Amino acid sequence: AQSVTQLGSHVSVSEGALVLLRCNYSSSVPPYLFWYVQYPNQGLQLLLKYTSAATLVKGINGFEAEFKKSETSFHLTKPSAHMSDAAEYFCAVSRGNTGKLIFGQGTTLQVKP
């Protein structure tokens, strides 16, 4: 069975600092991996995804993530945090015919001025 673990339910960084949100997955087959962002009172928006092409994936708003099979990880990074990045971030895995997403518990990113 597939699963996702996001390490750290809350992450706090200063504006301009590096953002690192951790995600580890479990999958018996090569997975598809996704990062979604949820701003307060809104739906989920795709940041980026890995679908077995390049292992370093660039997304919107300056975010990127690297698929590391040996570590079963798909950590999300951004070199310099902006106040507008404050939101909840979800890592998700899918594979199989349905493509249904299995989500991690989410990480709330706080950006301090």
Partner 1 sequence: DAGVIQSPRHEVTEMGQEVTLRCKPISGHNSLFWYRQTMMRGLELLIYFNNNVPIDDSGMPEDRFSAKMPNASFSTLKIQPSEPRDSAVYFCASSYDPGTGNTIYFGEGSWLTVV
The residues binding partner 1 (CB under 8 A) are: 32, 34, 36, 41-46, 49, 51-52, 90, 94, 96-106
Least distance (Å) from partner 1 to the CB of residue 50? 8
Least distance (Å) from partner 1 to the CB of residue 110? 17
Q: Which is nearer to partner 1, 81 or 94 (CB)?
A: 94
Q: Which is nearer to partner 1, 45 or 80 (CB)?
A: 45
Helix (H, G, I), strand (E, B) or coil at 50: strand
Q: Which is nearer to partner 1, 73 or 94 (CB)?
A: 94
Tell me which residue of 74, 48, 70 sits closest to 60, measured CA to CA.
48
CA distances from 75 to 23, 46, 94, 111 (A): 5, 15, 16, 18
- Dig out the tokens for 19 from the structure: 């953002």
Least distance (Å) from partner 1 to the CB of residue 18? 26
Which residue's entry shows tokens 């980026």?
A: 48
Partners of residue 50 on adjacent β-strands: 33
Q: Which is nearer to partner 1, 74 or 81 (CB)?
A: 74
